[in-house]
Structure 1
Amino acid sequence: MKVLTETWESAAIGRKKSVTVALPPTYSPVGRPFPVLYLLHGFGGNRHTWLQCEDLAAEVDSGDLILVLPESGRAWFINDARGRRYEDYLVGEVVRHVDDRFNTVARRDGRGIGGFSMGGAAALYQALLHGDRFSVVCSNGGAFEAPLREGDPYHGLRGDRNLAIPTTRDHERVWGPVGSAVRRRYDPYRLLRNRRPEHPLSIYLDVGLDDYPRMVSMNRRMRDALRAAAVPHEYRERPGGHDWDFVNAGLPDVFAFARSHLLSG
């Protein structure tokens, strides 16, 4: 795959921002347009984080998907309680820039969005909010219930150096206090209830059998909610924990799902 960096002055964020774009060997700036998969990192990650997956290049090289890797650090890719507008940046600026700069299928049925943990949850929020932009969602170990979190349910795990989950203070800096407008906006179960039927979604979600019990439970609740809402989806539980080894092992499933549901030019 060919890896590029695209940088511009972001009106939504108020400073220069960059995204990483990975192009398959078949990419051409003319002729048949290419579908695009946007992949969002986990809490505290950046636009390079997905590149640590050792099998990512092989997946990109084996198909006709353009891969876009934006970043939001710890901001959950939302318009948060501090006034940071990462939803506007992602859904507006990044999508528009990629479509202007590359030979893409510039329609909802040519765009998918996915991610790991924070990124998997944010992918679902934004697809439900912006069904006119995305038609496919892929989540690995999605932290879907972040808007519903109260206190610090991970307090007993704080000794784990690999734990990348915000404290109560950090969480409320993004989401606001319980009952805030930001939490209401991104409540995934409310978004499911209020989704627009003219923008159908195809959703893939999985979770590791050795993930944190809370994470496994919320993925099962999301599976049940999708089933009750009659939203087409695939759900899998497979070996692994809440880490990038788990994500890497699942890349073939994610890319196969995206390719099978996104429209090529």
Structure 2
Amino acid sequence: MKVLTETWRSAAIGREKSVTVVLPPSYSSTGEPFPVLYLLHGFGGNRNTWLQCEDLVSVVDPGRLILVFPESGRSWFINDARGRRYEDHLVGEVVGRVDERFNTAACREGRGIGGFSMGGAAALYQALLHGDLFSVVCSSAGAFEAPLREGDPYHGLRGDRRMAIPTTRDHERVWGPVGSETRRKYDPYRLLRNRNPEYPIGVHLDIGLDDYPRMISMNRRMRDALSAASATQQYRERPGGHDWEFVNAGLPDLFVFARSHLLSA
């Protein structure tokens, strides 16, 4: 696979931003276009965090997927309560830049979005908000209920180095106080209820059986909500914790699902 960096001045963020792009060995700038899978990092990660998955090469090589790794630090890839516009950056700049620079299947059927933890949740938010852009969601241990969080439910886990956990102050800097418009906008259950039926999505969810109980519970609730909304989904519970070892072990299933649901993959 070939790893590239695309850098430009982002109007949405107000400074220079970069994304990492991974091209499969079969990539060609001419001929049949390639579908794209956008993969979002977890809380505090960056555009290269996904590259730590040691099996990424083995699952990229046989496929025709272009991978794109944007970054938002700890800002959840949303337009947050502070005024940071990472949603606008992602859907209004990154997608267009990738379609302009590479031979992509530039339609919703050719685009998927996924991520780990914060990124897995953000992927679902953005697919539900922008059904005209994304047709597939692949979430590993998605922290879907971030907009619904009150106080610090993780206070007893703050010494666990496996997971970067936002304090109440850090969380409310992004989401605003309980009841804020930002929280309402990205409430995943509200987004599901109000989604445009003209834009069906396929959703792959997995969660580790050794993950935090709160994470397991919210993934089960999301599974049930997707079923109630008649959304196509694949849900897996498998061994593993809230870490990149778990993500790496799930890459084969994630890529099979993405390739089977994306145009020309």
The structural deviation recorded for 1:192 is 0.2
- Which residue of the partner structure matches residue 106 of structure 2? 106
How many Å separate the matches in 2 of 1:165 and 1:193?
A: 29
The structural deviation recorded for 1:57 is 1.3
Query: Are 2:175 and 2:182, in contact at CA under 8 Å, matched by a contact in 1?
Result: yes
- Which residue of the partner structure matches residue 154 of structure 1? 154
How does the TM-score come out when normalised to structure 2?
0.99
How many Å separate the matches in 1 of 2:116 and 2:161?
A: 19
How many Å separate the matches in 2 of 1:21 and 1:251?
A: 17
- Which residue of the partner structure matches residue 96 of structure 1? 96
How many Å separate the matches in 2 of 1:40 and 1:159?
A: 25
- Which residue of the partner structure matches residue 69 of structure 1? 69
- Which residue of the partner structure matches residue 193 of structure 1? 193
- Which residue of the partner structure matches residue 211 of structure 2? 211
What's the secondary structure of 2:207's corresponding residue?
strand
What's the secondary structure of 2:235's corresponding residue?
strand
How many Å separate the matches in 2 of 1:47 and 1:251?
A: 18
- Which residue of the partner structure matches residue 27 of structure 1? 27
What is the identity, as a one-letter code, of the residue corresponding to 1:253?
D
How many Å separate the matches in 2 of 1:27 and 1:258?
A: 17
CA deviations 1:192-244 (Å, max 9, x no partner) are 00000000000000000000000000000000001111111010000000000
How many Å separate the matches in 2 of 1:189 and 1:201?
A: 15
CA deviations 1:146-175 (Å, max 9, x no partner) are 000000000011121222110000000000
CA deviations 1:78-124 (Å, max 9, x no partner) are 00000000000001100000000000000000000000000000000
- Which residue of the partner structure matches residue 244 of structure 2? 244
- Which residue of the partner structure matches residue 235 of structure 1? 235
Query: Are 2:148 and 2:187, in contact at CA under 8 Å, matched by a contact in 1?
Result: yes
| Structure 2 residues not aligned, in runs of 5+ | none
What's the secondary structure of 2:206's corresponding residue?
strand
Pairing of 1:115-126 with structure 2 (within 5 A):
115-126=115-126
The structural deviation recorded for 1:62 is 1.3
| Structure 1 residues not aligned, in runs of 5+ | none
How many Å separate the matches in 2 of 1:55 and 1:211?
A: 21
- Which residue of the partner structure matches residue 128 of structure 2? 128
Moved over 3 A (4+): none
- Which residue of the partner structure matches residue 8 of structure 2? 8
How many Å separate the matches in 1 of 2:159 and 2:132?
A: 42
How many Å separate the matches in 2 of 1:20 and 1:122?
A: 18
How many Å separate the matches in 1 of 2:54 and 2:244?
A: 10
- Which residue of the partner structure matches residue 45 of structure 1? 45
How does the TM-score come out when normalised to structure 1?
0.99
- Which residue of the partner structure matches residue 264 of structure 1? 264
Query: Are 2:40 and 2:70, in contact at CA under 8 Å, matched by a contact in 1?
Result: yes
How many Å separate the matches in 2 of 1:245 and 1:163?
A: 12
How many Å separate the matches in 2 of 1:199 and 1:211?
A: 32
How many Å separate the matches in 2 of 1:217 and 1:111?
A: 29
What's the secondary structure of 2:89's corresponding residue?
helix
